[in-house]
Homo-oligomer: A and B are copies of this chain.
Amino acid sequence: MCTAAVMPGANRPVELQRFSAPELEPGGVLLETVFSEVCGTDVHLSHGRLAGVPYPIIPGHVSVGRVVDVRGEPHDVDGRPVRVGAMVTFLDVVGTCNACWFCLVAKMPNRCPSRRVYGVTYSANEGLYGGWSQLIYLKPGVSILELPATLTPERVIAGGCALPTAIHAVDTARIRLGDRVLVQGAGPVGLSAAVLALLSGAGAVYIVERHEVRLAMAREFGVDEAIRLDSSGSNGHVERVLALTEGRGVDVTIEATGVPEAVKDGIHMTRDGGRYVIVGHYTDHGEVGINPHTEINRKHLEIRGVWGVDFSHFHRMLRILDRHGAKVAGGRGWEHMVSRTYGLDEVNQALSDVETGRIVKGLIRPTAP
């Protein structure tokens, strides 16, 4: 038996429930959860903003755990066996079919209709498919990665679901050495993107954000300038970015806010011939007015939407954390992005703290006493 936090439906508080440990299928793996996390998507889930979610669910998509049981001979991507006792993480997406038009022709497994997502599209009635639980059942075929001895669970979960997403965005942005980069929004995805831009040798990295706690953390992670969003209508933040870039705007902007108006703003702060990457709009917050002449055609602009991740981003997350994770934030390490760790009985508080911007990133430790 184990305890899990269950989100019963939209706008209803999360409750603790007891579950039996699952019967493992051949190739299945059972984890004792060490850390899961609470992210912006969890807030959206708590308000019913995503379509097709089979409530009740156990939230928590990216997690780190210790293997407590295996059946058969599951292997990782490098062909090494997954053994009891190993500390692992796993891609939260399962069931990519490798047989449909999205998987095989468009080569967008991130849009495969068969894929299911731990913590989002599995019902709690189906089993332990979310990280806000003392046990997680990894079905056969889940892509598992064992943590190298040099990486702690804390550092990996600090990367969490935001870091692979940010890797995908930064790859798409094609930052070159010396490029000036603007990130809009200093939540986990935006902050991760800003740190990755710094690690990519950007000439300068600016961040625009409205919450003070996030601006402060962006500074601690070394951005060149953390600019408070001016929502007075006078657009002081836009003027500041233009002043920092000879009036031209930055070479690359990465949007990570989810606020439609940010797209219009961000385009103004990007130079002619620059690149604008939208990675923050995972839910629908409506439209923004865009002028195709002044904002796209005459600017000769490239705009790219980035949806989700595939396993390659997740795989590179570990390599990037192993390489760079210790030195960021002035040596405090990637785990400095974590504001607070919550027990299973505190998840409602965690959701509220993320929603109001009181924290940057919150962890869930299901086995906390």
Binary per-residue interface labels of chain A (297-321) against chain B in the complex, 1 for a CB within 8 Å, 0 otherwise:
1111111111100111001100110
Binary per-residue interface labels of chain A (249-260) against chain B in the complex, 1 for a CB within 8 Å, 0 otherwise:
000000100101
The number of residues on chain A lying at the interface, defined by a beta carbon within 8 Å of a beta carbon of chain B, is 80
User: How many copies are assembled?
Assistant: 4
Given contacts A171-B176, A312-B105, A320-B178, contact A278 B260 (CB under 8 A): no
Residues of chain B lying within 8 A (CB to CB) of residue A272: 102, 106, 108, 111
B-contacting residues, A57-114, CB 8 Å: 75, 77-79, 96, 98-102, 104-108, 110-111
Q: Which of B141, B170, B203, B302 contacts A177 (CB 8 A)?
A: B170
Given contacts A273-B111, A299-B307, contact A201 B204 (CB under 8 A): no
Binary per-residue interface labels of chain A (279-309) against chain B in the complex, 1 for a CB within 8 Å, 0 otherwise:
1111111111111111011111111111100
A324 CB-CB contact with B under 8 Å: yes
Residues of chain B lying within 8 A (CB to CB) of residue A107: 107, 312
For A255, give the chain B residue with the smallest CB separation: B292
Q: Which of B174, B260, B296, B323 contacts A292 (CB 8 A)?
A: B260
User: Nearest chain B CB to A329's CB is how many angstroms away?
Assistant: 16
Given contacts A105-B312, A201-B196, contact A263 B292 (CB under 8 A): yes
7 CB contacts below 8 A, A to B, read A200-B201, A263-B290, A263-B296, A281-B298, A289-B289, A297-B306, A302-B303
